[in-house]
Amino acid sequence: MNCPNCNQKTNIEKTANQYFLGENSQGIPFFKCEECGNLFYVKEETAYTISRGEKGYRFVPITYGVLEFLVAGTIFYFFGSNIITWIVGGIFLWLGWSSIKIGIWGSQKLIDEMTLDSGVGSSKDATEEWRKINKLE
């Protein structure tokens, strides 16, 4: 099935598909495009775009980042200075800084996919932007 937004081939199998969102009360399946992140539903072998009208907020990843900084500080304060403390605290510091960078410099599409589409894989555009922000490319 082709996505109605970008016309890329999208997997619409219901089993073992991370882009399958579920069905409504009438049994109509909902999917997310692997390429562009567009939400659509399939009815009678035709794909229709969904307009959510929702917007993700930048304060969500920034709040997670601040909380992760607080967890790292708590770990450093209460557990002293051994190698395990530095590894675990360092991981929380890295996660916190990553979340704050996404909240400040991420595009609205990346923010929307991270805050609104929990449990669903990100589109390729959002994944590439996330890697670029975190310098993983």
Structurally, the chain folds into a number of domains equal to 2
Structure tokens at 104: 């400040």
In tens, the pLDDT along 15-55 reads: 767 777 777 777 888 878 777 777 777 777 777 666 665 67
For residue 22, the surrounding DSSP H or E stretch is strand 20-23
- pLDDT one-digit tens code per residue, 112-121: 878 776 666 6
Please indicate, yes or no, whether residues 76 and 101 belong to a single structural domain of this protein.
Answer: yes
Q: Tell whether 70 and 126 lie within a shared domain.
A: yes
Pair (65, 110) in one structural domain:
yes
Residues 36 and 83 both lie in one domain: no
Range of the domain at 126: 59-133
CA distances from 131 to 20, 21, 119 (A): 24, 24, 19
Boundary residue ending a domain (11, 33, 51)? 51
If asked whether residues 73 and 33 sit together in one domain, one would say no
Q: Do 13 and 66 fall into the same domain?
A: no
Measured CA to CA, the distance from residue 19 to residue 61 in angstroms comes to: 22
**What per-residue confidence (pLDDT) applies to 64?**
94
CB 24 within 8 A of CB 35: no
